Structure 1
C-alpha cells in the first residue's frame, strides 16, 4: 500500500509539473508546441532513422553518424515513431516520457535517502530534494534524456545500497545478472553515467550473488560497458571516438595543450562552484539558493558517508563517488554550462539526495539528545524538508526561461525549417543547428558543427581557413547548395552567395546561438585549375600534395605545425596567373612545418609551395633529418609559388620533410604543397 501510494503521488505530481511547463509555453507562444532545445530534434531525427530501418543515419544518403548523445533514448523514441507518432506528435510522447522519468526520480530519490539514512522518514526529504528543484523540472519538460538519466542513476544508487545490505541468500543470480546488464547499458544512456555502471560492478564484486566466488565475474559488466560503447560506434561508423567527443571534449579538440587544458578545466571548476553556491553571474544564477544548498549538500553528504548503517559505508561511498566522478568528468568538456547545465544536472540529483538524507540523520541524532527517538524523526524530517524547499525558488526563473526558449525555437528554427521546405527538392543545406532544420525542414542537410555529420567538426573547429576547405575540398556533388547559418558564427564568407531569407527574433534569444539566422545560396568561387600550381605543364608527374588547412589532407600526410593556434588558420584570396582569383585556406608557420610526401626513389623531387609571401624568408628543407636544400622566398604579398628540388639521392618512396624558417625570418604562411617528379 505504501509503495502504491508513493508511485501514485509521484506520477500525479510529475504529470502536473510537466503539464504546467508545457501549458505555460503553449499559452505564451500562441498554442504552438515546441521543446526549449533544438537538440531534442536531434534525438527525434535519430529515432526516425531507427524506425525507418537506417539506424543512426542522421542525414538521408549520408553514412551513420555518432551524434546521438543517448543511444538508448533514441531507441526508446523510435518505438512510438514507428507506431505513428511522427512529426511534432513525437514531442508529446517525449513530454509523457519526461513526466514518467520525473516521477521515477521522485520515487528513487526517496528510496535512496531511505537507504542512506536507514529510516523511512528520510524518504520524504529525499524525494522533496528532487521535486523542489525547478531547474530539473525544466529538463524533464525539455523532451531530452536528462530526466531519464537522473532517474536511472538515482535508481542505481538504490540498487547498490540494497544489494550491499542483503545477506548472501537474498542476493539472487537473476538480480545480479540484471544489475550487470544495467551496468553494461549505462554508457549507452549517457557516456558520463559510466561511473555508476562501475559502482554497480564493484558492488557485484564485493557482494557476489549467493556469496559464491564465481559470480564475482559479473563485476566485469561495468568495464565491458565502457569498452562496448566505443566499439559500438566503431562498428557502425568506422571510428571509435564519437562526434560529440571530437567537438566537445577538451583532450580531442585542436589547439588544446596542457596549459590550455588546465585553464579551461579551472574555468569549469570555478563555474561549477558559483553555480552550486548560487553566487554566480547571469549564466549560473537562479538554480540554487545562495550557499544554503551547497552547504547542506557538503555537510549532509559527508555525514551520510561517515555514519554507521545497514548499508555498508563502502556502498555509500561508491554511489557518492560515482556522482562526483560523473560530475567531475564534465569539467573536461567545453559544454559544461550549456543548455542550463543539462549535462551535469542528473548527477547533482544524487548529491542533493545525499545531502537531504545526511541532514535528516544528523538532525535526528542531535534531536535524540533532547527528545525520545520517536519524537526526533518527524523533527528531523521537517528540518531536512525545510532545507530541500530551499531549492523551490528555482521554479520561477525556470518557468519564464522555458516559455522564452520554446518561443526562440518556434520563432527561429520552425520559421527557417519552413524556408527550407520551399527550396528545390534536391537542395543540400549546410546548417549549424542540426535539430529542427533537419527534422522539420524535409531537405538533405550537412551539420557544419560536426555533431551529426562525421567529417565537418574538425574543419569548423580549426579555424577560418579550414572552414573554407570544409566544402571546397569535397567533390561537387557533396557540396551544399545552400547555407542556413548564424552569420556571426560563420568564418568563411567567401562561400556564401545571395541571401535567400533571414529570420530575426523580435527579442534577444535565451537558448539559440544568435538572434538572426540567415539562408544563403552557396557559392564556391575557385575557378578550374585552382588546385594546381600555375602552369603545371612545366612540371613533371604529380606524386603527392598537401592541402594545408584541409584537416583530412593534413592527417593523411602527418602534417604538423608545432605551436599553431586558431588565429594561425587563415583564408586568403589573390589572383593567380593564368587561373584567376584563387581562394585558399592555410596556416601561418612561425618556425617549422613537417609532412610526409611520396616520391620516386632515386629521382629528384620538386617541391612547390603556394604562399602569400607577405615577408621575405629563407626556408630550409630536411629529408628524414638531413638538410638537403634552402630556398629564398621573396616578398610578393600575393600568390607566389616558389619551388625547390630535393636531389634524387635523398628521395625514397615516403619522405618525412621538415621545412624550417631561418632564424629571424618573419611569419610565412603555407597554403598548399605539391610534390612533382623531377626531370
Structure 2
C-alpha cells in the first residue's frame, strides 16, 4: 500500500533540496550558538566528552594510538575504533587545537545533512508525497540535531545505520555488507544490529537466495564484532571497551536493586519514546499519548513497503529493543547520555510522521481521514518545534559550560610545573588542552593504571603503594573538593574558575600525599618483641584483596557496600580506606604452621560511607559504631569470641586478636570475621624464625 499522491522525479529532487535547505538552517542555528559560546572566535567545544575522542585522535595522528597520554599503556576509553580515526585524519591534515573543533563541526554538519537525505530516501520507500514531511519532522527533532552537533561517535554511527537500512530496503546487499562491517567499528551497538539481522533472516519466510544474502550481510557485521573484541583483547586484555566496563548496574549493585532500577529506567525510556512523556527534554521525543498510535500505524500498515517488511521490520524493532535494554542497565543512564539513543529516537520520529499518513488512509480516503491526518501532522510539527528550541537552548548552555571549562584548563597550565601530571575525577577530556601535562583519571576509563579498581576510593588506596604514579596537581570541580577522601589530598589552592555553580566551577590544587603515607603499619608495641609480620591485607587495596581471596558477605541481601573512608584529624590528617562489614568477611593469608598467631585489626568508630538512597544518586553519610565491638573469628576449624574496646578515639585504632596456635600442615589460613565492624587492614604476626 502506498500513501499520498505520486510525485514526479523533478518534484522528488525539489523536495530533497528543501530537506537539505532546512538542514542548513538547523546547522546555522547550532553554528550561531557554538560561536556565541566560544571566547576565542572558534566553534566552542560542544561538551567535554567530545574532547576524549579528540585526545585519542591526536594520539593516533602522532603515532601512539590508543594511549590517552603518550607514556600510558593502551586504553579503549573512546568506545569506538572508527570515529577517532576520522578525527585523526583531520588532525593529520593540519586541524589542531581549537581549529579541530571547527573542522569537526563542518564534518558533523556534513553527517547531519547526509543523514537527513537518507531519512528522506527511506521515507520514500513507504510514502509518496509524505516523505518530505517525514524528513522535516526528523530535522525538527531537537535531540537528533543536538547529538549530531555534540561531536561524538553517535553521529557517525547513526549515519551508517540509516545508510544500511536504506541499502537493505533497496536490496543493495554488497553495499549493506560493507556498511554493517563498519558499524561495530563505530559503536558496540553495531554488534547488536549484526546479530539480530542474522537471526531475523534465518527465521523469516524468504526465498533461499534472499535469506542467504541477508545472512551474508549479517556475517560481515559479526566478523567485525569479533575483530573489535580481538583488538580490545590485544590492547587491554579484555574484549570490552574500557569505557563500558564497570557501568552495568548488575555489576555494580546487588541483583534485585539492579533489576528494579533497570526496569524503572527501561519504562522511563519507553514512556518517552512511545508516549512522549518524560522529564525535561525526553517529553519531546514523540507526540504525547498519540505517538504510540502513530508508531503502530506505521509498523502495521506500512508492512508492504520495502523498508518495513519482514525481516527488516523484525530486525529494526528487536535491535531497538535490545539497545534500550542495554542503556537501561547503565549506571550512566540519564538525559545527557540519551545520545546513545539518537538513532532510535530518529527512527521513532520517522515512524510517527509516517503514521500520520497511514492513519488517514489512501489518497482517495474520506475527507474526515484526510483532515485527521493534517491535524496530526500539525500537532506533531508544533511539538517537535518546541522540542527543537528546548534542545537548542540546552545545547547552548552545555556549550557555554564546556567552553568555560576548556578556557580555564588552558589558563591553569600556566600555574603548573612544566610536564607535571594532573589528577582528575571527571572531565578528563580536558587533557586535549593540556598537551604537556598528562592527565590521570581515577575512574580507569582512560588511565589504565586504575583499570579494574572498581571505585575511586580503591584507586586512592592503590596510590598509597604506588608513589611513582602520583601526580603533582588536582583539577577537580569545587563540589568534589569537599569529599572526605579527597580533602586530605588537596594542598595549596592555586587558581579557580569563576562560576556561580559549585558543580561546574573547576579548582586547581597542589597535590598533597602525606595523609596516605602515615600509619602504614601497626604500632610496634602491639605485638611481643621478636614477632614478625607474615601476612598483610590492606582492605580496600585491590591487589591485597585479590591475593587474599577477600570476600565480604552482608546480611542485607540488597545493599551495595562501597569502600569507606576514614580521616583521623588530631594534629595531621591520616587517610585510610576500608570496608564497612555488615555481616562477615573472609580472607586467607600465609602463616607458619605450629606457631602462635596474633591478628592485628585496624578499625575505627567513626567513618564515612557512600550510601545509595536511590540509584544512581549517591550520598555520603557518617557512621559511628559503639565503643565495644563483638567479633567472632573462625579459622582452622574453630571459632572464638572477641570483644574489642575501641576507646573514646574516633579515628584509626589498631586492636589485637589472639588467635592461638596454627595447626600443623597449614600454609595459608582462611579466616572469617563475623560481626558489624569497620575493616581497614589486617596483619598476621608470628614468632620470628622458621
Provide the TM-score with structure 2 as the length reference.
0.83
Structure 2 partner of 1:452? 446
Alignment of 1:119-518 (within 5 A): 119-163=127-171, 175-176=173-174, 178-202=175-199, 205=202, 210=209, 216=215, 219-253=218-252, 256-276=253-273, 277-282=275-280, 284-285=282-283, 288-305=286-303, 312-339=309-336, 341-365=338-362, 367-370=363-366, 387-388=380-381, 390-442=383-435, 443-456=437-450, 462=455, 465-466=457-458, 468-473=460-465, 475-489=466-480, 491=483, 492=485, 493-506=487-500, 508=501, 514-518=503-507
> Which of 535, 541, 548 is residue 544 of structure 1 equivalent to?
535
> Which of 672, 677, 681 is residue 668 of structure 1 equivalent to?
677
- Between 65-74 and 519-528, report the one with greater CA deviation: 519-528
- Between 381-390 and 81-90, report the one with greater CA deviation: 381-390
Contact 1:446 / 1:453 at 8 angstroms: preserved in 2?
yes
Contact 1:429 / 1:482 at 8 angstroms: preserved in 2?
yes
Structure 1 partner of 2:121? 111
Q: Does 1:98 align with 2:108?
A: yes
d(CA) in 2 for partners of 1:555 and 1:184?
A: 39
> Which of 47, 55, 70 is residue 57 of structure 2 equivalent to?
47
Give deviations 1:189-216, integer Å, cap 9, x for gaps: 2223432222443466566895596995
d(CA) in 2 for partners of 1:602 and 1:185?
A: 63
- Between 44-53 and 147-156, report the one with greater CA deviation: 147-156
Contact 1:28 / 1:403 at 8 angstroms: preserved in 2?
yes
The structure-2 alpha-carbon separation of the partners of 1:580 and 1:447, relative to structure 1 and needing over 3 Å to count, comes to: closer
- Structure 1 unmatched ranges of 5 or more: 164-170, 662-666
Cα offset, 1:660, TM superposition: 1.6
Cα offset, 1:56, TM superposition: 1.2
Structure 1 partner of 2:519? 530
Cα offset, 1:423, TM superposition: 0.8
Cα offset, 1:559, TM superposition: 1.5
Contact 2:230 / 2:239 at 8 angstroms: preserved in 1?
yes
Contact 1:603 / 1:647 at 8 angstroms: preserved in 2?
yes
Contact 1:192 / 1:330 at 8 angstroms: preserved in 2?
no
Contact 2:297 / 2:359 at 8 angstroms: preserved in 1?
no
Cα offset, 1:562, TM superposition: 2.0
d(CA) in 2 for partners of 1:639 and 1:422?
A: 39
Provide the TM-score with structure 1 as the length reference.
0.84
- Between 219-228 and 202-211, report the one with greater CA deviation: 202-211
Alignment of 1:565-584 (within 5 A): 569-574=563-568, 582-584=574-576
- Between 538-547 and 490-499, report the one with greater CA deviation: 538-547
Contact 1:105 / 1:151 at 8 angstroms: preserved in 2?
yes
Alignment of 1:23-62 (within 5 A): 23-27=32-36, 29-30=38-39, 31-62=41-72
Contact 1:130 / 1:349 at 8 angstroms: preserved in 2?
yes
Query: What SS class does the counterpart of residue 545 from structure 1 fall into?
Result: strand
Query: What SS class does the counterpart of residue 248 from structure 1 fall into?
Result: coil
* Aligned residue pairs, count: 643
Contact 1:447 / 1:453 at 8 angstroms: preserved in 2?
yes
d(CA) in 2 for partners of 1:337 and 1:424?
A: 38
Cα offset, 1:541, TM superposition: 4.7
Give deviations 1:136-174, integer Å, cap 9, x for gaps: 1122222222322222222222233333xxxxxxx7xxx
The structure-2 alpha-carbon separation of the partners of 1:259 and 1:283, relative to structure 1 and needing over 3 Å to count, comes to: farther
The structure-2 alpha-carbon separation of the partners of 1:481 and 1:89, relative to structure 1 and needing over 3 Å to count, comes to: same
Give deviations 1:472-511, integer Å, cap 9, x for gaps: 33x22211211111132353111111111111325x5xxx
- Between 215-224 and 440-449, report the one with greater CA deviation: 215-224
Contact 1:160 / 1:199 at 8 angstroms: preserved in 2?
no
The structure-2 alpha-carbon separation of the partners of 1:424 and 1:604, relative to structure 1 and needing over 3 Å to count, comes to: same
Query: What SS class does the counterpart of residue 344 from structure 1 fall into?
Result: helix
Give deviations 1:496-529, integer Å, cap 9, x for gaps: 11111111325x5xxxx91321111111124766
Query: What SS class does the counterpart of residue 182 from structure 2 fall into?
Result: helix
Contact 2:284 / 2:384 at 8 angstroms: preserved in 1?
no
The structure-2 alpha-carbon separation of the partners of 1:202 and 1:15, relative to structure 1 and needing over 3 Å to count, comes to: farther
d(CA) in 2 for partners of 1:195 and 1:397?
A: 31
d(CA) in 1 for partners of 2:214 and 2:285?
A: 43
Query: What SS class does the counterpart of residue 578 from structure 2 fall into?
Result: strand
Structure 2 partner of 1:19? 28
The structure-2 alpha-carbon separation of the partners of 1:557 and 1:396, relative to structure 1 and needing over 3 Å to count, comes to: same
The structure-2 alpha-carbon separation of the partners of 1:652 and 1:96, relative to structure 1 and needing over 3 Å to count, comes to: farther
d(CA) in 2 for partners of 1:340 and 1:587?
A: 31
Q: CA RMSD, aligned part only?
A: 3.5
Structure 2 partner of 1:644? 658
d(CA) in 2 for partners of 1:136 and 1:380?
A: 24
Q: Does 1:520 align with 2:530?
A: no
Cα offset, 1:70, TM superposition: 2.4
Query: What SS class does the counterpart of residue 112 from structure 2 fall into?
Result: helix
d(CA) in 2 for partners of 1:381 and 1:198?
A: 39
The structure-2 alpha-carbon separation of the partners of 1:582 and 1:383, relative to structure 1 and needing over 3 Å to count, comes to: closer
Contact 2:603 / 2:681 at 8 angstroms: preserved in 1?
yes
d(CA) in 2 for partners of 1:78 and 1:7?
A: 32
Give deviations 1:413-456, integer Å, cap 9, x for gaps: 32133212431113111113334420002211111233212344
Structure 1 partner of 2:4? none
Query: What SS class does the counterpart of residue 551 from structure 2 fall into?
Result: coil
Give deviations 1:352-397, integer Å, cap 9, x for gaps: 22233343234234x53448xxxx9999799658645641222222
Structure 1 partner of 2:609? none
d(CA) in 1 for partners of 2:28 and 2:59?
A: 28
Contact 2:140 / 2:384 at 8 angstroms: preserved in 1?
yes
The structure-2 alpha-carbon separation of the partners of 1:403 and 1:652, relative to structure 1 and needing over 3 Å to count, comes to: same
Query: What SS class does the counterpart of residue 562 from structure 1 fall into?
Result: strand
Give deviations 1:13-42, integer Å, cap 9, x for gaps: 434422321223313555353122100100
